């Protein structure tokens, strides 16, 4: 009887760092969590306990810190690409290196008085910027995105004309709240010359479309958001959006003699976290040869 290692990878996760740049009068803060995974010729480490090809995960951690000090850690796309290429170029046994980076966002506090520079910050969470760079045989695949972007619209959203059966209680509506915690991931057809500009353009397209779209469903708006992003950023050839429908249900205040119907100027909703509608889709750009 014989056996083989069908697949394997290993690496270092949750390598956290904060890079402080004080070279200018206004400080900049970049806070990251980095994950490095390596695939390659490591089978004998599993089968024979032979560690001669195994790059220590502690070395991966130290490499993240050293390269973050030696170059700008932002934009994270460039940093992830640098790390991924480093491991495939430095170790011949590494066939594939994947680097994922999450960036926590910080914003500068406004000056308290006058024109005094205030080097103090506040977190912009829960939104986190993400990227994943994969280096394999000299080819780099780059994905970027975001998670936890909480958005809400209070008009131009409805849901009607859906199938009904004995278990359907939901009513048709052309006036409801639409709220979600957006998760987005897009794939670049080529490495962008200005990753931050591409990211900000993609995010602006997503938010503007969400706000302005006459929504017939979450699916309807999700698709239009994806299309708008592909039109605005030509380097993106595919985008995946996940938009959980975070329900806000009109509170029943009739027992208290209060009219809490949707047509009033003031309406009280009950915010719920579970259960929620789970909606996602991947939209890609069709090329001439598709």
Contact 68, 79 (CB under 8 A): yes
Cβ–Cβ under 8 Å, residues 30 and 19: yes
Q: Measured between alpha carbons, how far is 22 from 26 in angstroms, rounded to an integer?
A: 7
CA–CA distance, 7 with 3 (Å, rounded to integer): 12
Alpha-carbon distance values, 37 to 43, 83, 84 (Å): 15, 11, 9
The catalytically annotated residue of 44, 57, 59, 240 is 57
Catalytic, 12? Answer yes
Tokens of 171: 């009513």
Question: Which among 218, 232, 233 has a CA at the least distance from the CA of 182?
Answer: 218
Determine contact, residues 36/17, Cβ cutoff 8 Å: no
Count, residues in the chain: 290
- CA 254/CA 272 separation, integer angstroms: 20
Is 247 part of the annotated catalytic residue set? yes
Task: Give the chain's largest Cα–Cα span.
Answer: 79
Decide the pairing of beta strands 236-242 and 248-250: unpaired
Nearest 5°: the CA angle 239, 240, 246 is: 135
Selecting among 61, 86, 104, 247, the annotated active-site residue is 247
CA Rg value for the chain = 24
Task: Say if residues 104 and 31 touch (Cβ distance below 8 Å).
Answer: yes
Q: Which of 12, 82, 86, 213 is catalytic?
A: 12
Residue tagged 């302005």 (tokens): 212
| Residues with active-site annotation | 12, 57, 247
């Amino acid at each position: 009887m014989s056996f083989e290692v069908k697949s394997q990878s290993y690496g270092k996760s949750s390598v956290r760092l904060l890079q402080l740049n004080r070279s200018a009068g206004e400080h900049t803060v970049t806070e990251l969590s980095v994950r490095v995974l390596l695939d390659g010729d490591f089978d004998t480490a599993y089968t024979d306990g032979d560690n001669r090809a195994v790059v220590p995960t502690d070395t991966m951690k130290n490499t993240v810190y050293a390269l973050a000090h030696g170059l700008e850690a932002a934009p994270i796309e460039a940093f992830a690409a640098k790390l991924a290429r480093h491991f495939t170029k430095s170790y011949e046994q590494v066939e594939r290196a994947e680097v994922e980076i999450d960036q926590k966002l910080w914003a500068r506090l406004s000056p308290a008085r006058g024109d005094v520079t205030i080097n103090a910050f506040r977190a912009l969470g829960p939104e986190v910027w993400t990227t994943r760079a994969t280096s394999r045989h000299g080819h780099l695949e780059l994905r970027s995105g975001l998670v936890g972007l909480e958005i809400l619209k209070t008009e131009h959203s409805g849901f009607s004309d859906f199938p009904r059966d004995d278990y359907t209680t939901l009513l048709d509506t052309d006036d409801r709240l639409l709220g979600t915690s957006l998760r987005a991931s897009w794939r670049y057809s080529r490495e962008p010359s200005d990753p931050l500009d591409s990211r900000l353009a993609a995010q602006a397209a997503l938010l503007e479309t969400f706000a302005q779209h006459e929504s017939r469903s979450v699916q309807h708006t999700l698709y239009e958001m994806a299309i708008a992003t592909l039109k605005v950023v030509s380097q993106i050839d595919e985008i995946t959006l996940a938009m959980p429908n975070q329900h806000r249900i009109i509170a029943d205040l009739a027992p208290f003699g209060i009219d809490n119907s949707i047509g009033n100027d003031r309406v009280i909703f009950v915010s719920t976290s579970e259960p929620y509608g789970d909606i996602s889709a991947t939209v890609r750009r069709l090329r001439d040869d598709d």
